[in-house]
Structure 1
């Protein structure tokens, strides 16, 4: 009986150590909310930028104005890794790209072209419904990736500011 209790005690200690190790590993891998010298409160840190995910819905232009008032701008996605990080916080969110100046020529809010290596949703951009000139990030079961959409549609948005 003593052997059984000793073995059970050792298993309990090992389980506690494993739980603590897993929690520490998970907290290091997860995006961190920083304050003070890092990101503002309620913003997430990824690499060298801070991200704000709105919970309200506005048009693309009004969303951009909200970001500018926060000393930020709509997010510019520079890599597949950044796109993967941003995916999943909302079903759809405005991002900082449009082809308003020239149909089919997608430009970020800083004037740089949208890179081909980013993931567009299947069949996008398609300019449907007489013109979809603003960019969004979609996270839906059968519709995942960048998408073009009508700029006046009310959607959530993502702001970005450098750290």
Structure 2
């Protein structure tokens, strides 16, 4: 066999072998490409959500926006958004709950704005609010005398009650003031 024929023979035999090798490497290359794309997408999403979280809470303390107890609030109270909140462990009727809050220089929970009190979405059980029905009407007012605004909370009339309980996701339900529920007290940061 001459060198020219040997060279052409090698090229022919190298061709199919190399083709098979390229064929085996193609799925591996595709898997690596997909993994890199997914990693980049993940990092972009983390950056976006971090930015959203930082921009969504401009009024929060940077070091500790949500703390239990601590410097600004009494023991067993939660600090969030320049307010202190107390989540009762005991169940009382609305009047007893209001009196318990007043005895601690606070009031029953009032929802001023969804953005300022976003952590309330985490509540999963019923708690008394400082919200009562105005006698002889379908309107509601806070126990400080201010009227409920539509952007604050949605009240669903369930039992034609004159008091209300906070449920979750900025929804409240009417309830008899004599029913027993947990309650939330709130006050300005000390």
TM norm. shorter chain > 0.5: yes
Q: Number of residue pairs matched?
A: 129
> Structure 1 residue aligned with 2:109, among 69, 75, 78?
75
TM-score by length of 1: 0.69
CA distance in 1, matches of 2:89, 2:124: 9
Unaligned runs of 5+ in 1: 1-24
CA distance in 2, matches of 1:55, 1:76: 19
**Alignment check: 8 A CA contact 1:87 1:137 kept:** no
CA distance in 1, matches of 2:87, 2:101: 10
TM-score by length of 2: 0.60
Distance of aligned partners of 1:56 and 1:162 in 2 relative to their CA distance in 1, 3 Å threshold: same
Q: Which segments of structure 1 move beyond 3 Å, counting only runs of 4 or more?
A: 27-30
CA distance in 1, matches of 2:104, 2:179: 22
Is 1:152 the counterpart of 2:178 in the alignment?
A: yes
Could you report, residue by residue, the CA deviation over 1:103-155 in whole angstroms, capped at 9, with x for unpaired residues? 312000110011101342xxx432x44x311111113xxx9711111111100
Distance of aligned partners of 1:51 and 1:150 in 2 relative to their CA distance in 1, 3 Å threshold: same
Give the CA deviation at 1:100: 4.4
**Alignment check: 8 A CA contact 1:95 1:136 kept:** yes
Give the CA deviation at 1:75: 1.2
**Alignment check: 8 A CA contact 2:152 2:170 kept:** no
Any residues of structure 2 matched to 1:10-159 within 5 Å, and which? 28=63, 31-36=66-71, 38-120=72-154, 124-126=155-157, 128-129=158-159, 131-139=160-168, 145-159=171-185
Higher helix proportion (structure 1 or 2): 2
